[in-house]
Structure formats: structure tokens, C-alpha cells
Structure 1
């Protein structure tokens, strides 16, 4: 992603991503409510690279700017795709280690949202690499983003539950479980035991749980038994470039 920017009329930097980088959207569904809770913006490189890979390919000093520009681009594209016509939120990936001053980092996305008619309360920032930050850094990000009306997610909690303490201590709105854990509950007894243990712990900490990698109907059918109703994966909808895909929320007959 090219790190050059220029200001736009709303004060946010113009996104100007590297040629070949596109933004897809995939819903996060609330199956208990029977609706899409949010659409997550997902960066895709020319060879299918995901957000984490694209950020990692950049020089460290270019990552903060690229992260901000990707957020601005996600807001504008989501609104052009019709996000403003419904009540779903917009979930934006963010490379947590690139966040220096949290208010300065989030402000371009908020400016872009307001310029498009989207209130900040409908923005969610999914923090990738949150576990790489110190406690004070992470606490400040969650606090400052919350004061602006935005929600935060911690992206990535796997079978080893290594970062469970961090999630509880710094209290994002929700935690995304890794596909490795979620997708294995049909075939793996150990994955089922892990999920049965983990989800009550997260709820006791006041955290919402989002299951990712829900790619089959078998996994989809089992998750309510674990008390999990926020889900994302191919079973709900595949990501679509530049569009908000319709979610399939009904259980198979």
C-alpha cells in the first residue's frame, strides 16, 4: 500500500491503496436476533493476501499511515455499497502496534464517517496484534476509542487461550475466536472441550464472543449449544469485493 496521502474535503487522508489492493465485506451475524450485526471490511491483495500480510509487507514507519488510509477507504466504500440504508455497524481492521496517539489515529476514519453521514457509534475497530502492545498502550486505545463512541474488538483468541487474561483486563466490547478453534468443534473432542470452557469465561468477563471460520452447516448448528450467537464465515456469507453480501441465517432443514 502506497504511504503517500493528501487531505480530502472532510479532513481525512485519501486512501490511495497500492494498485491491486481491494476491500471486501463479510457480515458478522447475530443469529439470536436474526440480523447482520456488522459488516467487516477485509483487505485483499492482488494475490489474495489478507490484511495482516499486507501490513507486514510494509516498512514499520509506513504502517500507521496505511492503517489510517485503509480505514478511511473502508468507510467510504461501505457507505457507497449501502451501509447507511440499514442498521448494521462497520467493522474495520486495525494494526494495533501501528497506533501511536489513539485519537490522532482514529480521527481520519471518524471524519470520513461523519462526512458520509455515518455516526461514530456504528464504527468498530478490530485490533489485530493487540497482544503485542503493553498494558498501558492497550488500555489507552480502548478508552480513547470508546470516548469517541466506537467499539473495539480483540482479533484472535485460539485454542491455547494464551491472551485470555489480556482480553479480560483491558475489556474490549468483544473477542473474535480463531477459525482454528471454531472450525474444529465438529471433528475434535479437545476443541469442543476448549470452547465449553472458554465461552463462559469470556461471558463472565463481560465480553461478547464472535466465532469466526463458521464455514459449514455442521459448525453453524453446534454453536448455539455453546451459547455463541455472533458468527462469521462462509456458512453465513462469502466476502464480496465492494459489496455488502446478503447473510444466510436460517438453519438447514
Structure 2
């Protein structure tokens, strides 16, 4: 067993100013960062870690009060830890039922720092989850192996633009053109775009001008350890300082 807990960061619907979803981010039980926790994950214990994270995410979000909102819960999972989509989802379903969390409010997002061993297997996971009514997302889109080649093979409900594409976008025409192109492709494929890692008002303004509705980042809310932080829209933040 891993000694873990969860932090939660809102993905804001900037048209309503409310959380569209909360992403569950793994932490040590004392709040230590994800990087330290992940050093103990090996190919041998990866499945157990993935399963425990799913349980901790659902139970932690319910304990923090997510059922008092209409927000979804986004859970990171490791595709290489899922040997069978139907078998590996059973503990998640059991936890959701016992916690009273509606499964149609679950989103599963994935990214891999290393290349996925079998993209056909990942496609089967995504298709199975879709049939079960879950949302699916490609995290860190535009970085590493999470790119257009993966999107050409299968389509998720959401793609989360990697922060490296966003950083300094207001000063970089190539970044803006790339992001604009990805947004157009996503719209044509009926995929919702989420921009993550937004830290400045300039980045926020450009993304809003490009039509991005769902935004995640320190500008709007930092992760809350064992709690659900409120979204602070830029106008609210500016008014508070004035």
C-alpha cells in the first residue's frame, strides 16, 4: 500500500466562473509532492498504485464536498497499468457506488512520460470507458508522445493543452498559431479543449480570444490538499487588489 492522499485543482468554466471539474493530483499523506511519490512506483507495483489512486481520488473528493457541486472529477490513470479495461475498472465502480459518486461525472485522463507500449490497447481502454459513460482526456497534449499522431489513432472527449504550448503565448506567434490550429482540429472532431498551466492574465486573455472555455492553472486556483479550492476569476482578483 502507498501512503498517499489527493490534492484537487479546479478546471474552470470561465463562462460561468464555476468549476467544471476538479483534477485529482496525487500527494504523499503529509502533502509531499507527486514527484516524490512517483519515485516509488515500479513496473511491479504500478497496477496497485493506479488502483489506489482511483480510490483515493473518489473518496477524497467526496470527503472534500464534491457532491455538493455539479463538478466532474478528473482522475489520472496509467494506461500501461490497465491489463483489462473491464477488469481494472471494477474497484473504481465499487468505490463510486459506496461513496455515492455518479459515474457519469468521472473523467479519466492519461499521459505517459515514456512512449505507450501499445496504442491499440490504449484505444481499447478509451473506447471501453466511453461505452461506460465516462469522459476521457489526453493530458499534456503537444508534449512528448501526446500529440497529433495519438489523436489520429483515437479521439477522447477532451484534450488538455500542455503548459509548454501556452507559456508566453502572447509573445509568440508560432505558439499562438499552433494552439489555434489544435483548437480548430478539436472543434472539427467534437473534442473539448482544456488549457492547463495558465499563470498570467496575458495567457488567459489570448486563450479566451481563441475561444477556449475551460481553463486550469494557478491564475484561477492552486491545488488544494484534501480540499476543493474556489475559482477566482481574473476580474475578481483584480477587483480584490484595487
Normalised TM-score (structure 1):
0.85
Deviation of 1:230 (Å): 0.9
115, 139, 161: which one aligns with 2:123? 139
Gaps of 5+ in 1: 3-16
- Offset at 1:165? 3.0
The corresponding residue for 2:53 is 70
Q: How does 1:224-235 map onto structure 2 within 5 Å?
A: 224-235=208-219
Cα–Cα, structure 1 residues 212 and 139, in superposed 2: closer, same or farther, change >3 Å?
A: same
Distance change in 2, residues 1:162/1:27 (3 Å): closer
CA–CA separation in structure 2 for the residues paired with 1:56 and 1:197? 36
> 1:30, 1:36 within 8 Å by CA — same for their partners in 2?
yes
**Partners of 2:67 and 2:223 in 1: CA distance:** 19
Secondary structure of residue in 1 paired with 2:45:
helix
Q: Which residue of 2 aligns with 1:158?
A: 142
CA contact (8 A) 1:237 1:248 kept: yes
Is the Cα contact below 8 Å between 1:159 and 1:194 reproduced in 2? no
Instruction: Tell me what 2:158 maps to.
Output: 174
Once the 2 structures are TM-superposed, how far is the Cα of residue 119 of structure 1 from its aligned partner? 1.2
Partner of 2:70: 87
Contact 1:159 1:191 in 2 (8 A): no
Aligned counterpart, 2:204: 220
In the alignment, what sits opposite 1:7?
Answer: none
Q: Are the aligned partners of 1:40 and 1:92 in contact in 2 as well (CA < 8 Å)?
A: yes
Pairing 1:189-208 to 2, within 5 Å after superposition: 189-208=173-192
- Name which of structure 1's ranges 166-175 and 126-135 shifts more when overlaid on structure 2: 126-135
Q: Kindly tell me: are residues 141 and 98 of structure 1, through their superposed partners in 2, closer, same or farther at Cα, counting changes over 3 Å? A: same
Deviations for 1:67-93, whole angstroms, at most 9, x for unmatched residues?
Answer: 111110110010011000110010011
Of 235, 243, 252 in structure 1, the residue corresponding to residue 227 of structure 2 is 243
Give, in angstroms, the shift of residue 126 of structure 1.
Answer: 0.9
Structure 1 range deviating more: 160-169 or 108-117: 160-169
Distance 1:165 1:250, change over 3 A: same
TM score, norm. by length of structure 2: 0.89
**CA RMSD of superposed structures (Å):** 2.2
| C-alpha distance in 2 between matches for 1:58 and 1:97 | 12
Partner of 1:14: none
Task: Find the partner of 1:148 among 132, 138, 144.
Answer: 132
In structure 2, the gaps of 5 or more residues are none
Does structure 1 residue 44 correspond to structure 2 residue 31? no
C-alpha distance in structure 1 between counterparts of 2:107 and 2:138, whole Å: 11
Q: Is the 8 A contact 2:10 2:21 kept in 1?
A: yes
Q: Is the 8 A contact 2:183 2:193 kept in 1?
A: yes
In 1: Cα distance, 2:192 partner to 2:39 partner: 28
Would the alpha carbon gap of residues 162 and 103 (structure 1) be closer, same or farther in structure 2, given more than 3 Å must change?
closer
> Residues 92-150 of structure 1: CA distance to partner in whole angstroms, max 9, x if unpaired?
11111111111122221121111111111011111122951423212210111122221
